Structures are given as structure tokens and as C-alpha cells.
Amino acid sequence: MSAELGVVVLCYGPDADPNVSALLENLAAQGVGPGSMTVVQNPSRDQPKLALPKAEISLLAPDRNVGYAGGMNLGIKHLVARGCDLLLLLTMDARLQPSAVERLVEAAIGTPAFGVLGPELRWTGTGRTSYGVMWGRGGAIDHIVVAPDSFTFGGIVECDSIDGAIVMTRREVVEKVGLLQDRLFMYYEETEFCLRVKRAGWKVGVVGGAVGEQSPGESRRPGAFNYLVARNGLEFSRQLAGSPGVVSALGRDIAQSWRLLRMRFSPRSGPGRRRYATVSLVGLWRGVLAYFQRRWGPPPVDLPGLGDITLAN
């Protein structure tokens, strides 16, 4: 059995050009033809329009930043319209080790019970690997960072969801459960998608021997990050577990606030860490408020911490 593969590469920001070029070369080395590749470029003020190396590579450029969900949806709809059976979704900082694409494709074709698949995802610079994500009853999400006992090379280990950096799904799955939720903008959209996939009767899993890499790093935009994670985390917990899930998510937000307060007022924290903690707290609780106001989409433009802030000093 054969299936046509289509790939979406989502990019944003001033580092898009070198990252996209490296990822396209990475895909080509694994036998992905340029006609199978689609790049979606979310615009930013400091990012010129990409010049792609091959004319056969499609470039989709929305007129505004539509986030991870909106950008991936543009690529998905483009690939579905072309008749692609398998859809591989990648962020620009992802890389795939040799044979990873082949193993993901073989697993998607050979195990139709799985609606979403991902690779063993190594976070570069950390020494850690994610073997998927498991959900707590109240909506807490935890990466599996120790290889499960049942995990074998070439096999598939079942999980609840996978990281959105590298996602393999099928056209029939998207046609049944729908696209990613644009309103979430960024964070939790792949988790919420996996929830719908599982409720529709498919499984989610990680393919042994298919290895991917990503450079996550610390959030450089802590205001936006905490706003979106708090708001979208509450919504995911509601969808998973109803009102008890919302209560559990609020408990996690309070615990995170306590950790940030300790960072903010610790005598060992320098100005950078105190600033990081302050804007993170503001973002978190404005995200909570946005959830109860049912305000969706991108973070508000007046939110502190939309620019680069580091934990240095």
C-alpha cells in the first residue's frame, strides 16, 4: 500500500530563513521531494519574505500572524486539496534523524488504528527525550521522559498526545475530527486535537526508532507564553474533565504563581530574574481572566513580556 506524503513547515521571526533552509535540506536528504513540501510563513516586522531553494516548494504567507494553529491549518488545507494522504507537520526548529520520515510513514500506513504519531523527540542541549505526553485526570500534562518498558525499536508506544514540533496524521483523521482550533492561537492546540482524535476512536503514539530533535530553550516571551498556557490550559482541562478540570487547572496556576513569587522576591534573584517573574505573573493571571471572559486569539498587544526577556542574572 502506498500513500502520498505532504509536509508543512511553519516558520516565524528573524531566524526563519536559516532554520527553514536547514529543515528543507534535512527533509530532502530523507527522500522528501520539493513538490511535497509546503512552507507557511507567519509574518513579523523583522522577517522578509522567504526565498525558497526550489520553485516546486509551495509558500503560503498569511497577511497576519495566525499562530501555530492558524498557520498549520493553512498548510493542512493546502495538502488536503492536493490529495495528500499523510500529513507531516513541522515547526522550523525541528530536525529529523536519518530514516525518521520513512519510519513515521511506514507506521502511519501499517497501523491505521493510530490517528496521530510522533517521533522520539530529543530536546537538544538538555539530554532529555520525550516519548509522548500523558494527561492527568484534571488536565495536567506530563511528558514521558523515560523510555517505557514496552518500548521497542520500530514499535509504537501509546500515549495521550505528542509535542506539536513534529506531528504525523492522515487526511481521513482531519476530515473526521476537523482542523486545529484557530482560537487557541498557540500552545495546547495539538493536545486538544489529540483529545478529539482519541474520542473519535483512534490512538496516539510514538514510533520507536523515528528520532526527531528540537531546541525548545526557555521561553523568551514569558508574558505571552504564560498568558496562552494559562488560558488554553484551562480550556483543555474543561474539555477533558469539565468543571473539576477547571478547578484543577486553577490549582496548578496558583502553584505556578507561588513559584514565580518566590523567584520575584528571592534575594538571590538579579534584575533579570525579577523582571521575568513579574511579567510571567502578569501574563498568567491575564490569561486566566481571558479564559473566563472567553477571549481567544493572540495575546493582547499591551501585555508585558511580548519581547525578548531572558533569565540571565
Neighbours of 160 (CB within 10 A): 20
Would you state the pLDDT for residue 61?
92
Contacts 24+ apart (CB under 8 A), 139-142: 139/233, 139/236, 139/237, 139/238, 139/240, 139/241, 139/245, 139/248, 139/249, 140/248, 140/252, 141/191
Q: Which of 20-24, 35-39, 66-70, 309-313 has the lowest mean pLDDT?
A: 309-313
CATH of 5-214, one of 2.30.110.10, 3.40.50.1010, 3.90.550.60, 3.40.50.970: 3.90.550.60
Q: What is the pTM of this model?
A: 0.93
Beta strands per DSSP E along the chain = 5-12, 37-42, 58-60, 86-91, 95-96, 114-123, 128-130, 133-135, 141-143, 156-159, 166-170, 203-214
**Cα 76 to Cα 68: distance, rounded to the nearest angstrom:** 12
Q: Given a cut of 60, is residue 180 above it in pLDDT?
A: yes
The residue with cell 509535542 is: 163
**Could you tell me the residue ranges of all domains in the chain?**
5-214, 222-293
What gap in Å lies between CA 276 and CA 219, rounded to an integer?
Answer: 10
pLDDT at 200: 98
Residues 163 and 118 sit within 8 Å (Cβ to Cβ): yes
Q: Which residues of 266-299 are buried (b: 16+ CB within 10 A; e: fewer)?
A: eeebeeebebbbbbbbbbbebbbebbeeeeeebb
Measure Cα distances from 275 to 151, 289, 293 in Å.
42, 21, 27
* Three-class SS state of 161: strand
The answer on pLDDT for 306 being more than 70 is: no
Q: Tell me the three state secondary structure of residue 198.
A: helix
What pLDDT does residue 127 have? 85
Span 21-66, pLDDT tens digits: 999 999 999 999 999 999 999 988 767 788 888 889 999 999 999 9
